[in-house]
Homo-oligomer: A and B are copies of this chain.
Amino acid sequence: MKSFILSVSCPDQPGIVARITGLLYEAGCNILALEQHVEDGELFFMRIEADIVESRWPLGELRRRLGELAGNLKAEFALTDRDIRPRLGVLVSQQAACLYELLTKQRAGELATDIRIVIGNHDTLRPVAESFNVAFEHVPSGPGDDHEAVMLKLLAAAEVDLVVLARYMRILSGDFVAAYANRMINIHHGFLPAFKGSNAYRQAWERGVKVIGATAHFVTADLDEGPIIAQAVTPVTHQHSVAAMTVAGRDLEKRVLAEAVKAAVESRIILHGRRTVVFHP
């Protein structure tokens, strides 16, 4: 490991930054980026990107000392190798926009991830995945949970770190959600918490809102209630029909989903309760 990301969550207390950065300095690490946040005067969060310039200690020693310090601070530490790209599994139905956005950004070097598998409950988007040399599996949704078992097996075989629901139009069971707790991101086509559930654009049209939005969030058992990672909005007028809102919203959806996935693969998100800390890129 030559370069890492260190994420920290702990109760706020004096000396946190000094003690952690002091340890890294002693270990011969050079900090490239550091961002910290104190929530409500009580909780401390920090993200550090650092290079191991002079490797004064073996990696095990660095981990041991960080673990010791974490204990003293009552902190949770997460250490991620910057050179290992997280592996993605993407679930889709028939809408192509979000999938294209992820694939083109990945290929353009904007998403440091490895897209291992695309699973569709329709076969429609197979050519899209395959034109990017990404494996596609068609797993039709059944009335029971059998298709979920198949998908879990495929995702496990692909050793996926993060699951992305890129306009996958089926509800997943609590068991499926639990298998990827805090590691599954959905894009909702509404400005949550308004307009939950399906037909968000019709709901928005009927309510006569003047701004529509899209929301990327972690998936929890409670549908559309998961912690929000990113949101984007665009103004609409009385001239927008439901169809026009849907088209305008599609642009938001793909943009905001890519933004959330980018934050996740760059280890920039810390979850606590229903809130997320999303550090700057």
| Bound Cα distance A40, B32 (Å) | 11
Among residues of B, the one whose C-beta sits closest to the C-beta of A194 is B194
Binds B, one of A13-21, A113-121, A134-142, A143-151: A13-21
| Contact among B25, B38, B237, B277 with A32 in the assembled complex (CB-CB below 8 Å) | B38
User: Which of chain A's residues 80-119 have a Cβ closer than 8 Å to chain B?
Assistant: 96-97, 100, 104, 107-108, 110
Shortest CB-to-CB span from A133 to chain B, Å, is: 10
Among residues of B, the one whose C-beta sits closest to the C-beta of A19 is B25
Size range of the chain A interface in the assembly? 35 or more
Q: Is A64 an interface residue (CB 8 A)?
A: no
> Which residues of B have CB within 8 Å of A247?
110
| Bound Cα distance A36, B104 (Å) | 32
Q: Is A174 an interface residue (CB 8 A)?
A: no
Let me know if B238 and A37 touch, CB within 8 A: yes
Specify how many copies of this chain sit in the oligomer.
4
Knowing A25-B14, A30-B14, A251-B255, say if A209 contacts B233 (CB, 8 Å): no
Knowing A17-B21, A39-B238, A96-B108, say if A228 contacts B255 (CB, 8 Å): no
Q: Is A35 an interface residue (CB 8 A)?
A: yes
Let me know if A276 and B238 touch, CB within 8 A: yes
| Bound Cα distance A278, B210 (Å) | 10
- Binary contact track A249-281/B, C-beta < 8 Å → 1, others 0: 011000100000000000000000011111011
Q: Is A193 an interface residue (CB 8 A)?
A: yes
Among residues of B, the one whose C-beta sits closest to the C-beta of A41 is B32
Among residues of B, the one whose C-beta sits closest to the C-beta of A131 is B131
Let me know if B33 and A38 touch, CB within 8 A: yes
> Which residues of B have CB within 8 Å of A31?
14, 16-17
Q: Is A191 an interface residue (CB 8 A)?
A: yes
> Which residues of B have CB within 8 Å of A208?
227-228, 274-276
Q: Is A244 an interface residue (CB 8 A)?
A: yes
- Binary contact track A21-34/B, C-beta < 8 Å → 1, others 0: 11011000111111
Among residues of B, the one whose C-beta sits closest to the C-beta of A242 is B40
23 chain-A/chain-B pairs, Cβ below 8 angstroms: A14-B25, A14-B31, A15-B25, A18-B24, A22-B22, A32-B38, A35-B35, A37-B239, A39-B238, A40-B241, A96-B107, A100-B104, A110-B247, A131-B131, A193-B194, A193-B209, A206-B275, A208-B274, A208-B276, A210-B230, A233-B233, A238-B276, A251-B255
**Which residue numbers of A lie inside 8 Å of B, CB to CB?**
14-19, 21-22, 24-25, 29-40, 53, 96-97, 100, 104, 107-108, 110, 127, 131, 191-195, 206-211, 213, 227-233, 235, 237-239, 241, 244, 247, 250-251, 255, 274-278, 280-281
